[in-house]
Structure 1
Amino acid sequence: MRVGGTAGGINQVMALRQEILQRSQALQQVRTGSASEASGTDAAQAGTPTGAPGQVAGFADTLQNAMQDVSAVQKRSSDMQAAYERGEVTDVAKVMLARQEAGVAFEATLQVRNKLLSAYQDILRMGG
C-alpha cells in the first residue's frame, strides 16, 4: 500500500516541478515583454533539458540545474535591487518583478524539497 503512496509522491514532485517550470517561463515572458514574442523559440527551448535529443537527464542533474537556475534568478534580483539603490535602474516595476520571480522560485524549491523529504521518510518507514 505504501509503495503506491511513494510512487504517487514522486509523481506529485514531478508534477510540481513541471508547474514550477511553466510559472518560471510565464514570468520570463512577462519580464522580457515583446522580446520573447519576437523570438518564440527561446521560450520553447527554456524547458528542455540540455544534451542530445532524446537523452533523459538524471535526477541529480535535473535537481542541480534547478538549484542553479534558482540561484541565478536570486542573484539577478539582488543585482537589480542594488542597481536600483545606486540609481542605475529607474524602473521599479522591473525590480519588483525580479524580486517576485526570485521569491516564487525559492518557494517552489522549498516545496519540492519538502515533497522529497516526505517521500524519503516514507521510503525509510517501508524498510522497517
Structure 2
Amino acid sequence: MIDKTTQAAGVADMLAKIRAYQSQMQNRAGAPEMPAMPSMPGMPGVAPLEDTNRIGKPSFAEVVRTSIESVNDLQSKSAQLREAYEKGENVPLTDVVLGMQKASLSFEATLQIRNKVLKAYEDILNMPV
C-alpha cells in the first residue's frame, strides 16, 4: 500500500523548490545592474577591476546544463529504484513511487520551461523589424 502522506510530502517539497527557484529568477531579472566604477586618476596605484560583472554569475548554458543533469539524475535514480524493487531487493514501494513522481514532475517542469523558451523565441522571430 502506498503511503500517501510521504508521497504528498515529497511532491510538496519538489513544488516548494520549484517555486523558490522561480522567485530567485524573478528577483534576479528585476534587479538593476550596478554600473562599473570609473577609474580615479587622482589615486595612483589603484587599478580598476576588469570584468567584475562575471564574478559569481553562472552562464545561461551552465544553468541549463545543471538543470538537465539534475532531471536526468532523478530519472536514473527512479529507474534504479524500480529495478531494485522488481528484483526483490529490500526497497519500499513508497520510495519507488515517490522517486517516479519526482522524476515525472521534474521532467514535466523542464518540458514546460522548454515550451515557454521556444514560444519566446518564436515571438522574437515574428517581431517586425
What interval of TM-score do these two structures reach, taking the shorter chain for normalisation? Answer: 0.5 to 0.7
Amino acid corresponding to residue 73 of structure 2 in structure 1: A
* Structure 1: 4+ residue segments shifted above 6 A: none
Instruction: Kindly indicate whether the alpha-carbon contact (under 8 Å) linking 1:70 and 1:105 is maintained by their aligned counterparts in 2.
Output: yes
User: What displacement does 1:57 show?
Assistant: 0.7
TM-score, with normalisation over the residues of structure 2? Answer: 0.57
Instruction: Kindly indicate whether the alpha-carbon contact (under 8 Å) linking 2:85 and 2:93 is maintained by their aligned counterparts in 1.
Output: yes
Taking structure 1 as reference, are residues 94 and 23 closer, same or farther at Cα in structure 2, changes over 3 Å only?
Answer: farther
User: What displacement does 1:89 show?
Assistant: 3.2
Q: Deviations over 1:53-111 (max 9, x none)?
A: x6011111100110000000000000000000001133100000000000001000000
The 2-side partners of 1:67 and 1:86 are apart by: 29
Structure 1 unaligned spans of 5+: 1-18, 26-53
User: What displacement does 1:24 show?
Assistant: 9.1
Amino acid corresponding to residue 93 of structure 2 in structure 1: V
Match of 1:65? 66
- Counting aligned pairs with the same residue, the percent is 37
TM-score, with normalisation over the residues of structure 1? Answer: 0.58
Q: What count of residue pairs does the alignment treat as equivalent?
A: 82
The 2-side partners of 1:59 and 1:21 are apart by: 23
Structure 2 unaligned spans of 5+: 1-13, 21-54
RMSD between superposed Cα atoms in Å? 2.3
